[in-house]
A and B are shown apart, each in its own frame.
Chain A
Amino acid sequence: MNFSVPLLLLGFLVKSLQPANLLPKNTIFILARKTQVIGKMGGVDVEQVGIHAMADGEISAFLKKNSLALKVEECRKIVELLGRDPTLTEIHIFNIQWSEHSSYKSSKDTLKMLPTSGPTVILGPREDAGIIKFANVDGEQYGIVISHESHNHPSQVVPYEGAATGVGGNIRDVLCMGAHVISSADPLRFGNPFGKNLNKVKYIINQVVEGVAGYGNPLGVPIIAGDTYFNDSFDENCLVNVVALGIIKEKDIIHSAAPPDSAGHDIVIVGKATDYSGFGGAALASVILDADEEEFNKGAVQVPDPFLKNIIVRATEAVFAEIRKRGLALGFKDMGAGGIMCSTSELCDAGNMGGEIDLDNVPVALKDLPPYVIACGETQERFTWISPPEFTPTLLKIYNEDFELPNVAEGARAAVIGKVTGAKNYVLRHKGKIVCNAPVEVITRGIKYQRPGREHKRKFSEPNIPEPKDYNAAALSVLHHPNVASKASIFKHYDTEVQGLAVIRPGEADAGVQAPLPGKYPAVALSVDHNPKYSRISPFHGAVNAVAEAMRNVAAVGAIPYGMTDCLNMGNPEKPEAFRDFTESVEGLSVAAHKLWLKGKQDTPVPFVGGNVSFYNESTKDAQIDPSPIISCVGYLEDYRKAITMKLKQQGSKLFLIGDRKDELGGSAYYDLNQETGANVPNIDLESERERIHAVIDLIDAQLLESCHDISDGGLLTTIAEMVLGGEADGAFGAEIDISFSSLRPDKALFSESPGFVFEVKPENKEKVEHVLKTYGINPIELGTTTAGSKLVVGVGNKRIIGLENEQLKKAWTTGVPEAMK
């Protein structure tokens, strides 16, 4: 009796059923405990759960008992779609496929607002990862593959493993397009390390950072970008987003689909032996975290194995080389949420085929796993291949013999588990019985909700803060704020150098830069951004700012924004206010992407080629997180030799500012230090923002700038101080600036986070720079000069208000984050 365990669980619900009207007369239900029942309808040989005859309350109890996140009405929908009662395995399948995480059921319609195509897109957000056009070198068109996902709930529950598997999942997504994975980035949001929940927050910070490092470092994927914010809205729900990049020749892309006419091809899975780990992971991502259920939730977090993954990646690259040599078409897909079931059903459906799988052929780590765990468990480090039978022996040999997977990790291997079929059904067998038999399209199609929205009643007002008496102290406290201060104590844990592709690494500039084609000059820049406090005040403007800052950051190294991804970390979509936050955020992204169009392509938006929606980011204890649409922007540089960093390069240069200082300190670090939130978030004039971004790219391309830095967290003063210090806080030059150009009170001029750029220009290039800016209609402000002394001096006309040695700046800026983590 194979089903004794689940049947005991179900026992109280299983009852004799009368055939319902919607079911064919010949369906037999005898659902007594431990009694084998055969429902012939749909070719299903095992017990069906008598949903159709249950009252709503009984369904609710059944769902809770089985830890299923499905709703009662969704269960009824399953019966309707199948035309019969489902098996327990089928219920688990729909539980995952219809989770918010997998189905985007609440977000699909809203996301249509975002531009996803255009001249820089090779592949939009349809498969495991998007692909952005990269250089054409020696007649070969290359693409940058990008994936961007969240792993928030797992990281809150088991931070090391949650963060590590977040990195692992994104890397799988990029690899399975056939790409070589070149880098990753880690936007992180943590609670207040000095607040009421400080011990847990600090624990999570350190564990998440170790987890990101503990996966990417062994695998040999460098981290080239990231950002970190701390605030109390993340106390009970941290955010761990990961971006991964890969490089591929356009002609070598492997699609997540069974190839055309592939009936009879083998379904091969490769990787770790399947176990219980991560069972229910997609569902965990789709519920509100309840601290009381923390122990239970831990079981739904996947277990990372970067060591095994390292070898699988190398073996898989050997497979890529072999199939390219032979000119074969295979399908390849990562196994993430929903495990074997999701990966195989989507491969088959995308190729307009069906599939038949024998779950007994799946290598398992434990005996007697129930079929739905084998089918849906989220054991890490696994992939699915669709392989023509004549290639299968080679495929198995590469993994199992050349790279000896079975000797590297117990139970790991590549194994044939089924066949692609011409019939468009998805069939799972277990111990000789059919446990799932449904049209494959029914399994993959998902469902959709129209969620109502209602505006949040946000009450924010501008504070009346007295002017600081000591501007030196005010400047140092802003530099020391953990959201502004150097993140070196985080990214020094990460291997930024592995693969040898680094050009500009984290901390050196606003974006990381890599040269992914060894020996060639084209380069890719990557930045990740979003300031959560802006979105607390205004989800729309928070989203606009995220897009603008991400683009500014890649422009500040000289790269042209080519594409973006969005990971929308939001609250509970069933609450109208939270849903409205989501839709407003998407509106903001859309408006900004359209207005900040592709350089040289008027009215052609910078596209979003990938992303992820993560709802339910709230805990039962606390209110929801700040709406967090985290954006990554990929930039293209024709020649990395022209890329510049933020560090001042010489004395006697002119320092220019573009971007007016406005009274926009809402959500700023300065207000936060004064225990205020404020109301005036930067309200970006997108026309002039676009001109500034494009002008800076031209100036860097013309090699007229020595260094450049955007203005964001901490405002103008922070920008200048970071240019003086440089990423390693070892800058050799100082700066003297005059802020009398601004009519704002000096603290507002220095700490307002209105967007802009500051750049360093050799005196002999001043006129050329002004000429370029004029063509964009920009009037630069000459702020001051760089100096030999290691000192930052700020004056208002003749009155000096700040005079700080580099050592003082360094101390404030480099100790802020270590203190937050300690």
Chain B
Amino acid sequence: MKKVAIILFPGSNCEEESKRACESAGLVSDIIRWNEPKRCRAYDAFILPGGWSYEDRIRAGAIASHEGVMDAIKEESGKGKPVLGICNGAQILVESGLVPGNLSEQGKFQVELALAPNHNPFVSGYYCTWVNIKKASAKKTPFTSLVDDVFPIPIAHGEGRFVSSDASLLKKLEESGQAIFKYCTKQGSVIDEFPVNPNGSGNAIAAICNKTGTVMAMMPHPERASWMRQVPGMSSQGERAGPGRKIFESLREYLK
């Protein structure tokens, strides 16, 4: 039986619902604490859930990215095991260099991206709302084989704006198909302004993966859109699968 490890860092807060979302998609999962890196080897995929690891000191995700458990995950990721970072998990992946995943001459992951404070004319700082995202790349990843082209999903963060000191990097990532999801309208048009792009993210990018697609950093929360009950205006459909569940179902298919 293939198993998913959900990593609890000090300050994570989405581990339980991430586990429930895995289970709803038929994935077996366990929550592993940050101080149990040796357990990682026994798992086949990893989810870094949302939250405020180390209370976002320095930069969101920066301190967790130096935890021993991240060394273990880098090692497992090197074997091709999928790693999904959601929200703060995405910030940790970016801070660890696993996304976009380019290596330095010394063979170390380079930190090339950051998730910067939102640009939002309506609410400064933390912002929680429902948005729509679309698949913006034909790249195959372990997380996206089954997802809808356009679907509603919530965001909840203060730092969700993909930026890079290399002005051309985001463009390059788009060209290489690594910009997996973009913010869009209900009908699927990408409009790079508020409120369609809720945080001013570069080129309206909502998720970026590594070159092979096995590591994905996404700011929106698929585990909060895994039941129709959770989707605004759709609660009468009850416990039926929501659009976010397909991320986890894709992973289940990939691990088969």
Contact = CB atoms under 8 A, between A and B. Distances in A.
Interface of A: 210, 213, 217-220, 306-307, 310-311, 314, 402-404, 408, 489, 492-500, 502-505, 508, 513, 515, 518-519, 521, 640-643, 645, 647, 728, 818
Contacts of B154: 497
17 contacts: A217-B52, A217-B156, A218-B13, A218-B55, A310-B13, A489-B122, A489-B123, A492-B123, A499-B17, A500-B21, A500-B223, A502-B230, A508-B232, A641-B235, A643-B235, A645-B233, A818-B122
A647 B233 contact: yes
Given A220-B14, A402-B33, A818-B122, A497 B235 contact: no
A643 B50 CA distance: 29
Nearest to B52: A218
Contacts of B235: 503-504, 513, 640-641, 643
B156 A497 contact: yes
B224 A500 contact: yes
Most chain A CB atoms below 10 A, which of B55, B128, B224: B128
Contacts, number: 105
Summarize B's interface: helix, strand, loop or mixed.
Answer: mixed
A498 B13 contact: yes
B221 A497 contact: yes
Contacts of B229: 503, 515, 640-641
Contacts of B21: 500
Interface stretch (B76-84, B108-116, B209-217, B236-244): B236-244
A307 B123 contact: no
Given A311-B10, A311-B11, A640-B235, A217 B54 contact: no
Interface in B15-43: 16-17, 20-21, 33, 35
Nearest to B21: A500
Contacts of B194: none
Contacts of B51: 218, 220, 310
B10 A497 contact: no
Nearest to A649: B233
Given A218-B13, A492-B128, A498-B156, A505 B20 contact: no
Contacts of B17: 498-500
Contact of B226 (A306, A500, A503, A645): A500
A210 B52 contact: no
A521 to B, nearest CB: 7
Nearest to A499: B17
Nearest to A221: B13
Given A307-B55, A497-B156, A408 B10 contact: yes
- Which of A219, A220, A493, A818 has the largest number of chain B CB atoms within 10 A? A220
B128 A495 contact: yes
Given A311-B11, A493-B125, A500-B227, 20 more contacts: A218-B11, A218-B13, A306-B52, A307-B11, A307-B52, A307-B54, A310-B11, A310-B13, A310-B51, A493-B128, A495-B128, A497-B156, A498-B17, A499-B16, A502-B224, A503-B229, A640-B229, A645-B233, A647-B233, A818-B122
B125 to A, nearest CB: 7
Q: 4 nearest interchain CB pairs? A: A220-B13, A500-B17, A307-B55, A218-B52
Contacts of B232: 505, 508, 728
B126 A495 contact: yes
Interface in B185-242: 221, 223-224, 226-227, 229-230, 232-233, 235-239
B117 to A, nearest CB: 14
A289 B132 CA distance: 48
Nearest to A519: B239
A608 to B, nearest CB: 29
Contacts of B221: 497
Contacts of B55: 218, 306-307
Contacts of B227: 500
B8 interface: yes
Contacts of A494: 126, 128
Contacts of B129: 492
A521 B240 CA distance: 12
Contacts of B10: 307, 310-311, 404, 408
B246 to A, nearest CB: 16
A640 B126 CA distance: 29
Contacts of B233: 645, 647
Contacts of B126: 213, 217, 493-495
Contacts of B223: 500
Contacts of A310: 10-13, 51-52
A642 B238 CA distance: 9
Contact of B237 (A489, A521, A641, A818): A641
A370 to B, nearest CB: 31
Contacts of B128: 492-497
A312 to B, nearest CB: 11
Interface in B120-150: 122-123, 125-129
B230 A498 contact: no
B14 A498 contact: yes
A519 B16 CA distance: 14
Contacts of A508: 232
Nearest to B20: A518
Contacts of B20: 500, 518
B124 to A, nearest CB: 9
A87 B223 CA distance: 56
B122 A521 contact: no
Nearest to A305: B55
Contacts of B238: 521, 640-641
A206 to B, nearest CB: 9
Contacts of B239: 519, 521
Contacts of A643: 235
A662 B50 CA distance: 50
A588 to B, nearest CB: 34
Contacts of B35: 404
Contacts of A518: 20
Contacts of B236: 641-642
A311 B127 CA distance: 23
Interface string B150-164: 000010100000000
A403 to B, nearest CB: 7
Contacts of A402: 33
Contacts of B14: 220, 498
Q: Which of B11, B54, B236 has the most CB of A within 10 A?
A: B11
Contacts of A496: 128, 156
B116 to A, nearest CB: 18
Q: Which of A495, A497, A502 has the most CB of B within 10 A?
A: A497
A497 B127 CA distance: 11
B122 A210 contact: no
Nearest to A500: B17
A354 B232 CA distance: 52
Given A311-B11, A519-B239, A641-B236, A497 B125 contact: no
Interface in B40-63: 50-52, 54-55
Most buried by B among A493, A508, A647: A493
Contacts of A499: 16-17
A492 B11 contact: no
Most buried by A among B122, B226, B233: B233
Contact of A210 (B11, B125, B156): B125
A406 B142 CA distance: 38
B204 to A, nearest CB: 19
A500 B230 contact: yes
Nearest to A403: B33
Contacts of A495: 126, 128, 156
Contacts of B125: 210, 213, 493
Contacts of B11: 218, 307, 310-311
B41 to A, nearest CB: 20
A642 B129 CA distance: 23
Contact of B224 (A497, A504, A513, A521): A497
Nearest to A818: B122
B42 to A, nearest CB: 19
A217 B13 CA distance: 9
